Structure 1
């Protein structure tokens, strides 16, 4: 079925451009970056994977450029990473609470300080999710490591999902912390935790599908992948038993333009009845936005 154009899309991975020369990602990955290209010349941590980067990535307009593109392609709301020291993201969430949703990046290495920071972010910033890149942490923390467990428990108490990168990461850093098999133990130990994978789960997509089928609390988001490269196994799963488990997420303005994403979405072979779940209602349910009062900044 062709993509319906009357759906208010919820995009589960967007960003607010910080202007030319932003290298916050390089500071985040720190000493894990060993190759010269990543340390000195790349504008983006996985630049080698993309033929080109969106021009908006280097705009100085902050939220304005993002909102313009959202309006152009029918994106009703976008989830952005929000931390206390990111003034542009905090301002975007505060000034446009009807358009942006916040995800707070957590670091298990911070111990209980990290747990308290997550609780503050929910209470003070109004974030509706936590997020983590296990391989990108310094030091890396495997998905099922005990250092993550207080944060998983906090997400359950706060009734928010956590979005976690799984599979081989794009940046040139080790992948061991993001092996998809590690998710199994987390879903078993925390059956109330809404756990959403990011960035493809490759090369363990078949295993990811098995786990999605096994665990009611596990979900898959399509972040960082152009639609033409969505794994076939995920599309087959969405069209059959997984219609409620696969969620749309883009990668604008970091690595993909909305123009490319939505042009390629038109060719996506999703069945009738799957489109609205994929583009909107699955996200509303997982984020708790179908409940009154959720998703508004304080």
Structure 2
């Protein structure tokens, strides 16, 4: 990966469809997400299409799916398929994996194999969809392995568009995505690199507090257009957290084109802008070593 030539590194994109056309979530949850993001015209790109999209923009992208088989009953997209597909485009795509914490030790064994044999560089958790509290000990065998392997864990935080507007929210409980629950994880696994994904509405101040207090907790800015960022998030990104904030789009529901156009209008210091767009991710993901 030629880091010097990259404009940006998007740390938050979704593989929504497998090679055989299987979606990562059920159709009714996908539909609710499209309503929430007003993204009815977006299609579900394949991983090769994602590689082409980002290469055309001189960007790299972290790619992951969401494994929520226990809570939803919906079969996941294989992490091994995602990793193998990303490996075909190593100059553009960075594979993450997602393992349902309810899989216990079996999930921990899979995590080790994915990192050691398939080049996976991090793990995505979505507590609300996966139906678990991040500080529940059921997830600790998985965190132990991730911490040992030295790769980051990315947690969805705040409200989610998945299930929005569906009766009962499609069974999705927002409380599991409070960043204060991840604070416990940061205490119990002090060397684990953690990313709090998204502006964490309605817990933005909590996310800022955790990222300020815990040295290895970062924040990604995905899932929102920058023009809607809370002012305190912009203020901290410009100052105390300038080395711990990361560009993420939430592609394909939000495109990097839209995100970057709105980010260009945000009052971010010139010396901080490249940190957010690229340099913080390079350091966190250890890309300078590859």
CA distance in 2, matches of 1:257, 1:278: 17
Which segments of structure 1 move beyond 6 Å, counting only runs of 4 or more? none
Of stretches 227-236 and 244-253 in structure 1, the one that deviates more from structure 2 is 227-236
2:254 to 247, 252, 256: 256
1:79 equivalent among 55, 62, 65: 62
Counterparts of 1:154 and 1:87 in 2: how far apart (Å)?
18
Q: What are the within-5 Å matches in structure 2 for residues 1-298 of structure 1? A: 8-16=7-15, 18=17, 23-26=23-26, 39=28, 43-53=30-40, 55=42, 57-59=43-45, 62-75=46-59, 77-81=60-64, 85=78, 89-137=82-130, 140-171=131-162, 172=169, 173-253=172-252, 255-290=253-288, 292-293=289-290
SS for the counterpart of 2:287 is coil
Gaps of 5+ in 1: 1-5, 27-37, 294-298
- In structure 2, the partner of 1:32 is none
Worse-matched range after superposition: 257-266 or 215-224: 257-266
Change beyond 3 A, Cα 1:213–1:105: same
**TM-score normalised to the size of structure 1?**
0.82
Query: Higher relative contact order by CA 8 Å / sep ≥ 6: 1 or 2?
Result: 1
Query: Structure 1 residues 54, 162: closer, same or farther in 2, change over 3 A?
Result: farther
Q: Structure 2: give runs of 5+ residues left out of the alignment.
A: 66-75, 163-168
Distance 1:157 1:64, change over 3 A: closer
Over 3 Å counting, the alpha-carbon distance change for 1:54 and 1:197 in structure 2 is farther
Structure 1 window deviating more from structure 2 (174-183 vs 241-250): it is 174-183
Q: In structure 2, do the counterparts of structure 1 residues 107 and 219 end up closer, same or farther at CA, with 3 Å as the change threshold?
A: same
Deviation at 1:43? 3.9
**TM-score (norm. length: structure 2):** 0.84
Question: For this pair of structures, how many residues does the alignment match?
Answer: 267
Q: CA deviation at 1:124?
A: 2.1
8 Å contact from structure 2 (residues 84, 118) kept in 1? no
Q: Distance in 2 between matches of 1:103 and 1:272?
A: 30
Q: Could you give the per-residue CA deviations for residues 214-266 of structure 1, whole angstroms, max 9, x where no partner exists?
A: 1111110012112222232211101111101111111112x112321222122
